Structure 1
Amino acid sequence: MAALRAAKQALRKEIKKRVAAMSDEEKHRQSRVVSLKLFKHPKYLSSQRVAVFLSMHDEVRTEEVLQDIFNRGKVCFIPRYFSNSSHMDMLRLNDMKDINNLALTSWNIRQPGDEECREEALATGGLDLILMPGLGFDKTGNRLGRGKGFYDSYLERCRKQQHEKPYTIALAFKEQLCPQVPVDNRDVVIDEVLYDEEE
């Protein structure tokens, strides 16, 4: 266990360094490539209820994805993290303007406040697709998160409360890809990783 934790920590550090070295232009360029791939993806096209993360500076930008979800009339959900546990809810986002009214957390992520009453995805029919953030990924779908386990525990809840598990797609910079991510049996493998494959 300790060895796995140490391996994950070392890899987190290495990937953070690689992503930090990327220019903003390059982050935007790759985000655009990844977004366009997503917009053609059959699972995205057929999904009605989609969960998407609001991107931080070291993640693929999701503004365009959010805009597209609303343009296509899909139902959009975003995470609300509880900082003192690994609990996360996926709450409905009404439109692009809605984002600007969300409070900023200590992690500099916008999310609905604890007292806000919003539709939670699992309470109203579940999710078809979850777009996953992460620090690192390998091509077989292993994911290196930030160590809090939010998505792993949420996917576990989906498994128990939905008859079909949501399809999971990670959006990644190619700098976030690793030959192999160290995982244990609690780490959820994701269905697919989208990134800019052109060298």
Structure 2
Amino acid sequence: MDKLKLRQVIKNKRKNMTENDSSSSSNMIKEKFLGLDLCRNKKNVLIYVSTKLEVGTIDLIKELLDRGVNVYTPKVINLEDGLMRFIKISSLDDLEVGCMNILEPKSNLLELDESKIDSTFLLVMPGLAFDKNGHRLGYGGGFYDRFCNRVTNDLLKVALSFDYQIVDSVSVNEFDVSVDVVITEKEIIRCK
């Protein structure tokens, strides 16, 4: 299935998910993430701030901050070029409505120096669909692919996904970045 059609199929499925189901599944995914050794031991987490249609990350961000983890969330720098940077936050109060009405770090906070990203960091990536090989269908802006192609290959990439977002195959091109692990409410998929 081509990317455009797959995006529409997943968006339609997402519209049918109740708020209660989304919240319950997001909580199960959060607990799986926090219990996974690969994730639990990371001191630096780069993580998206969820919209109401994605696996919820707000409670996960709060938990990570409470555990003393360095949490960085994305801020769109240039929408046309698909450029985002990660900014360290110390609480949810550091977020404000930004690009595309998504919560982003406030403008007075400092960007993460991307040259400092190493194997102590973990990236939590959003997406519309994933396959069991770690291939990811994003939203079409290329923000995460560009970011990953700028930083070290040692960066562990984890996707949080509702089970219905797992598909047989996601078509990819040379610029698409795959994830290492996909966590759903039903399973943990180790892709590499």
TM-score by length of structure 1 reads 0.87
Partner AA of 1:74 in structure 2: V
Q: For residue 190 of structure 2, what is the aligned residue in structure 1?
A: none
CA deviation string 1:90-143 (max 9, x = no partner) = 1111113223xx2x2352201135x53413151545561001101111111100
Between the aligned partners of 2:151 and 2:38, the Cα distance in structure 1 is: 17
CA deviation string 1:46-87 (max 9, x = no partner) = 101101110012100001110111111010000012312111
Aligned residue among 141, 147, 160 for 1:154 = 147
TM-score by length of structure 2 reads 0.90
Between the aligned partners of 2:9 and 2:158, the Cα distance in structure 1 is: 23
Q: Cα–Cα, structure 1 residues 158 and 125, in superposed 2: closer, same or farther, change >3 Å?
A: closer
Q: Cα–Cα, structure 1 residues 133 and 150, in superposed 2: closer, same or farther, change >3 Å?
A: same
Asked if the contact 1:91–1:121 (Cα under 8 Å) also holds between the matched residues in 2, the reply is: no
Gaps of 5+ in 2: 188-192
Q: What percent of counterpart residues are identical? A: 28
Gaps of 5+ in 1: 1-5
Between the aligned partners of 2:53 and 2:183, the Cα distance in structure 1 is: 16
Between the aligned partners of 2:94 and 2:115, the Cα distance in structure 1 is: 21
Specify the SS of the correspondent of 1:13. helix
Asked if the contact 1:77–1:121 (Cα under 8 Å) also holds between the matched residues in 2, the reply is: no
Q: Cα–Cα, structure 1 residues 98 and 117, in superposed 2: closer, same or farther, change >3 Å?
A: closer
Aligned residue among 123, 140, 147 for 2:133 = 140
Alignment of 1:8-157 (within 5 A): 8-81=3-76, 82-99=78-95, 102=96, 104-113=97-106, 115-126=107-118, 128-157=121-150
Q: For residue 2 of structure 2, what is the aligned residue in structure 1?
A: 7
Q: How many residues align?
A: 185
Between the aligned partners of 1:66 and 1:45, the Cα distance in structure 2 is: 13
Asked if the contact 2:163–2:185 (Cα under 8 Å) also holds between the matched residues in 1, the reply is: yes
Q: Which sits farther off after the overlay, 121-130 or 62-71?
A: 121-130
Q: CA RMSD in A?
A: 1.7
Partner AA of 2:58 in structure 1: E
Bigger proportion of residues as helix: 1
